[in-house]
Amino acid sequence: MAAAAIATVSLSSVPREKRPRHCASTFNFNARQFSNSSSHCHSFTLRPRVPRPRAACRVIVAQAGGGYKVAILGAAGGVGQPLSLLAKMSPLVSALHLYDIAADVEGVAADLSHCNTPARVSGFTGEDELAGCLSGADVVVVAAGVPRKPGMTREDDRFGANAGVVRELVAAVADHAPPGALVHVISDPVDSTVPVAAEVLKHKGAYDPRRLLGVTALDVVRANAFVAARKGLPLADVDVPVVGGHAAATILPLLSKARPKAAFTDDEVEELTARVRDAGAGGSATLSMAYAAARFLEASLRGLDGHGDVYECAYVQSQVVPELPFFACRVRLGRDGVEEVMGSELRALTDYEARALEALKPTLKASIDKGVAYVQQHQEAALN
Ligand SMILES: NC(=O)c1ccc[n+]([C@@H]2O[C@H](COP(=O)([O-])OP(=O)(O)OC[C@H]3O[C@@H](n4cnc5c(N)ncnc54)[C@H](O)[C@@H]3O)[C@@H](O)[C@H]2O)c1
């Protein structure tokens, strides 16, 4: 393994033209980049503040506040609140707009605004304030809806409620957010809600597949944690791509592509695959989901900011599996959102992975079709 590069530098030693546009302030989000292959992975870790030389600090203060505007919809929820806190800590975020139908969001915004990090925080509640929340947003995170309760499946139980929430909120994104805004969909079932969002954007003439991303980062975070624990590997080094979708039957961790290379017995492959797939069965995750969504948000912002080699797994429109118009896969993130879908990762699968990929296709296809049909039915009903 090549040495990991830590992205935090003393800016006073870097020529001005080579400095990043935005840089760390209260916390360091350290980007670790694996440089021993064509694919890369980034993870961020939060580190306590360490004293810096004065010259470096002056540059940081001068550049703070020039970052991106992020809108979080559903910000008063179990995922939304900790995600908002983590976004407030990001040096790349200069404005944080928090929206929820629950008026509590005003209190969340006031509370967060007292954290001495540069992002300005504003709370928005009620439909009348949604347009203001979305105005000028670079990234809109949709975390609104009904969470999974113990025993529920992601796919069916919440589809009716959350498809309606996503349809309504994404329609507002099309109407009020800038055309270049990235949309991150967290609301489950992601396998269906992302197609719902795509259809809504198409009907509004505002669809750009590069800018619509289903957030499956929690599956990667879990796979990394479980593999590191099982194989006794350092957590920061482990990177497991997770493909397919984001339901128990459609999540597929590709252990054969995990880095660092490790030998897994058949039993380990079955056990780890089942563990990643079923990790949400005890009820909806909130804190780990917020961490995963914040990591994904940070990666997207680094992509927008022009950093090279930003890779994450996400559920996006692609042709890597021709019969599945949406598929979770590692993607390269850049100034236009998804700049490349790394379909090469599906080559040279093990027999187990190839069989699992075949097996998940009908379920994922049905979930995609369900999302598309939902919006079409709604459009037809609206016309009648
Ligand atoms: N993608 C993933 O890996 C993943 C993981 C965990 C949870 N989730 C999903 O994220 C969503 C949020 O989960 P949670 O635990 O925070 O739920 P929660 O019930 O705690 O919070 C949801 C929030 O959404 C708000 N909301 C509902 N309808 C809204 C609307 N129309 N406009 C604005 N806000 C609205 C609610 O007032 C609430 O504050 C759920 O759909 C859940 O299933 C996804």
Write a three-state SS string for 148-179: CCCCCCCCCCCHHHHHHHHHHHHHHHHHHCCC
Pairing, β 28-29 against β 46-47: antiparallel
Same domain for 131 and 227? no
Residues 159 and 109 placed together within one structural domain of the fold: yes
User: Catalytic residue at 246?
Assistant: yes
CATH of the domain at 229: 3.90.110.10
Q: How far is CA 33 from CA 151, 159, 227, in A?
A: 38, 37, 19
Strands 93-100 and 120-125: parallel
Residue among 73, 85, 99, 100 whose CB has most ligand 1 atoms within 8 A, to mutate: 100
More confident residue, 241 or 42: 241
Percent of the chain past pLDDT 70, that is, above it, reads: 80
What is the C-alpha R_g of the chain? 20
Q: How far apart are CA 45 and CA 55, in angstroms?
A: 24
Which DSSP state fits 256?
G
CA of 105 to the centre of ligand 1 (A): 13
**Residue 168 in domain:** yes
Q: Tell how strand 251-253 and strand 28-29 pair up.
A: unpaired
Span from the CA of 381 to the centroid of ligand 1 (angstroms): 26
How much is the pLDDT for 330? 98
- Residue 36 covered by a domain: no
Q: Do 74 and 209 belong to one domain?
A: yes
Output 202 or 283, whichever has higher pLDDT: 202
pLDDT (tens digit, 9 = 90+) per residue, 29-75? 333 432 333 333 333 444 434 444 333 333 333 334 359 999 999 99
Task: Name the nearest CA neighbour of 289 among 134, 184, 378, 367.
Answer: 184
| Per-residue pLDDT reduced to its tens digit, 180-198 | 999 999 999 999 999 999 9
Q: Write out the E strands in 260-350.
A: 310-317, 326-334, 337-341
Strand partners, 213: 184
Residues 260 and 271 in one domain: yes
Same structural domain, 226 and 335: yes
Residue 176, in any domain of the structure: yes
Q: Please tell me the distance between residue 291's alpha carbon and the centre of ligand 1 in angstroms.
A: 15
Dihedral sign of CA atoms 200, 245, 30, 82 in order: positive
pLDDT digits (tens, 9 = 90+) for 291-326: 999 999 999 999 999 998 999 999 999 999 999 999
Q: What is the CATH number of the domain that holds 150?
A: 3.40.50.720
- Structural domain includes residue 261: yes
Cα–Cα distance for residue pair 252/78, rounded to 1 Å: 26
| Residue 234 and residue 94 share a domain | no
- Looking at the fold, whether 193 and 329 belong to one and the same domain comes out as no
- CA dist list (Å): 231 to 133, 237, 238, 250, 263: 45, 12, 10, 24, 9
Residue 193 Cα: closest atom of ligand 1: 41
**For position 253, what pLDDT does the model report?**
98
Helices and strands of the chain, counted as H and E runs: 10, 13
Q: Are residue 342 and residue 265 in the same domain, yes or no?
A: yes
d(CA 360, CA 375): 24
Domain check: are 239 and 318 in the same one?
A: yes
Decide if 41 is inside a domain. no
Query: Looking at residue 265, what is its pLDDT?
Result: 97
pLDDT band, residue 230 (cuts 50/70/90)? very high
Residue 151: both structure tokens together: 């025993």
| Residue 283 counted as domain residue | yes
Write down the pLDDT at residue 302: 97
Question: Are 78 and 194 in a shared domain?
Answer: yes
Q: Are residues 148 and 160 in the same domain?
A: yes
Q: 371 in a domain, yes or no?
A: no
Report the percentage of the chain scoring pLDDT > 90.
75
Q: 168 falls in which pLDDT band (50, 70, 90)? A: very high
In a domain, 381, yes or no: no
Write down the pLDDT at residue 151.
63
Report the mean per-residue pLDDT for the chain: 85
Sequence-distant (6+) residues with CB within 8 A of 283 are 147, 148, 149, 150
**Mean pLDDT, range 152-168, rounded to an integer:** 81
- Rounded to an integer, the average pLDDT of 369-374 is 97
Strands 251-253 and 242-244: antiparallel
Q: Of the candidates 194, 216, 238, which is a domain's last residue?
A: 216
- The verdict on 232 and 174 lying in the same domain is no
Residue 161: CB partners within 8 Å, gap ≥ 6?
Answer: 145, 146
DSSP three-state, residue 297 = helix
**Number of domains within the chain:** 2
Q: Which of 72, 101, 129, 130 to mutate to test the pocket of ligand 1 (most atoms within 8 A of CB)?
A: 101
Task: Report the C-alpha gap between 69 and 124 in whole angstroms.
Answer: 14
d(CA 352, CA 335): 36
What residues flank ligand 1, with Cβ below 6 Å? 73-74, 76-80, 100-102, 143-148, 162, 165, 168-169, 186-188, 190, 215, 218, 246, 284-286, 289
Q: How confident is the model at residue 282 (pLDDT cuts 50, 70, 90)?
A: confident
More confident residue, 351 or 29: 351
Domain with 277, as residue range(s), is: 218-365
Residue 156 pLDDT: 61
CA-CA distance, 273 to 275, in Å (whole number)? 5
Residue 320 to residue 58: CA distance in whole angstroms: 47
Q: Three-state DSSP class for 259?
A: strand
Q: For residue 25, how far is its CA from the centre of ligand 1 (angstroms)?
A: 30
